[in-house]
Structure 1
Amino acid sequence: MDTSDAAFPVRHITLCVDIKGHKTDIIISSYEDHFLVVATQIGSMGTILHARKEEGVSVNPTFSVNVVFGKRDEPMLVAAGRQLIEHISNSGSSKALVLSLGLRDHSMGTLKDIVSAVAEKLAEVI
């Protein structure tokens, strides 16, 4: 299911997918300087991360991902944030990312499926 409400002033996409047997709601919003991605299986925000590309003189880009609220001992959540900010950067956008992951399952497979679903839809709002 894929919807976009023209009355809402922020460009966004909502979808609901089944990931590893869990109903997963995903909302992708595009603000002027950030993307907000909410992926939830529990109906709440969960862990919130902030990811951005570091500006510098280096040829190779550097990315930073920080946990703002929530589980700080889940390296797979940080890895998902890094993959998404790299995808955003490689798509030509310089926007930062706020990522909210409210998940029942923090396995690598679940996070890969979420990153894939979000990356596929990001092109519609970049």
Structure 2
Amino acid sequence: MNTDITTSSAPKFPVPHKNFSLEIKGNKTEINISSYEDHFLVIATQIGTMGTILHARKDEGVSINPTFNVSLIFGKRDEPMLGACARQLIEHISLSGSSKALVLSLGLKDHSTETLKGIIYAVIDNCMW
């Protein structure tokens, strides 16, 4: 995995965000992280479109151990690793102390574990929570 990250210096977007690209397994991967009042929006694309969209949140309850809910909004239903990617990110968000939910869009050419791990690491390294 090549982790050369380039950052965009585009005009101000009205929502706090980070936009960068990196190469994962030979595929240019564009990542945008936006921080809204109650959600984080993470878009990772290798195909120039949004792709599969997932929603992940921490369930508030009386249990000591947190539980997380990941649901597919639309897209590939036969790719369980996409849901695992969303779960890893929402767990990291929760551990950082944020209670915001996550909307994750994955438009990928390659759905391998290595690609998804590369996306998770890149998002965590550039997190806004």
TM-score grouping bracket, smaller chain normalisation: over 0.9
Q: Which segment drifts farther, 2-11 or 27-36? A: 2-11
Listed as ranges, the gaps of 5+ residues in structure 1 are: none
Give the structure-2-normalised TM-score: 0.93
Backbone CA RMSD of aligned residues: 1.0
Match of residue 104, structure 2, among 93, 99, 119? 99
Letter in structure 1 aligned against 2:92: H
CA distance in 1, matches of 2:26, 2:13: 30
Partner of 2:3: none
CA distance in 2, matches of 1:4, 1:48: 26
CA distance in 2, matches of 1:104, 1:117: 17
C-alpha offsets along residues 29-70 of structure 1, whole Å, 9 cap, x if unaligned?
000000000000000000000000000000000001011010
CA distance in 1, matches of 2:102, 2:41: 6
Match of residue 23, structure 2, among 18, 21, 34? 18
Partner of 1:110: 115
SS at the partner of 1:45?
coil
Partner of 1:85: 90
Give the structure-1-normalised TM-score: 0.95
Letter in structure 2 aligned against 1:73: D
Partner of 2:72: 67
Identity %: 68
CA distance in 2, matches of 1:63, 1:106: 22
C-alpha offsets along residues 91-110 of structure 1, whole Å, 9 cap, x if unaligned?
11000000000000000000
SS at the partner of 1:77?
helix
Task: Compute the displacement of 1:9 (Å).
Answer: 1.1
Listed as ranges, the gaps of 5+ residues in structure 2 are: 1-5
CA distance in 2, matches of 1:107, 1:114: 11
SS at the partner of 1:32?
coil
SS at the partner of 1:28?
strand
